[in-house]
């Protein structure tokens, strides 16, 4: 098996239609043979490095 982790910061899904952005990401990964193993809430570093932001870690799995 092969695994990959996508880190999504709050700013990634904030704004209009956050569900559509996540849906597009999941469908894109599915076309490449990945399936979602876990979606976890996490504190992730901000882009500026000044503190943490709310975020999601999406863990994907596929056969090697």
Span 5-41, pLDDT tens digits: 998 876 655 666 667 888 889 999 999 999 999 999 8
Rounded mean pLDDT, 53-60:
87
Given this model, what pLDDT does residue 60 score? Answer: 98
Given this model, what pLDDT does residue 31 score? Answer: 98
The domain in which residue 20 lies consists of: 2-62
Report the predicted TM-score, pTM, of the whole model to 2 decimal places.
Answer: 0.76
Q: For the chain, how many structural domains are there in total? A: 1
Given this model, what pLDDT does residue 16 score? Answer: 64
- pLDDT band of residue 42 (cuts 50, 70, 90) is confident
Q: By CB neighbour count within 10 A (0-12 exposed, 13-18 middle, 19+ buried), where does 60 fall? A: buried
């Amino acid at each position: 098996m092969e695994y990959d982790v996508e880190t999504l910061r709050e700013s990634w899904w904030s704004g209009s239609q956050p569900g559509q952005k996540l849906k597009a990401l999941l469908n894109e990964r599915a076309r490449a043979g990945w399936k979602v193993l876990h979606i976890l809430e996490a504190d992730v570093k901000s882009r500026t490095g000044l503190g943490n932001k709310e975020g999601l870690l999406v863990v994907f799995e596929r056969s090697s």
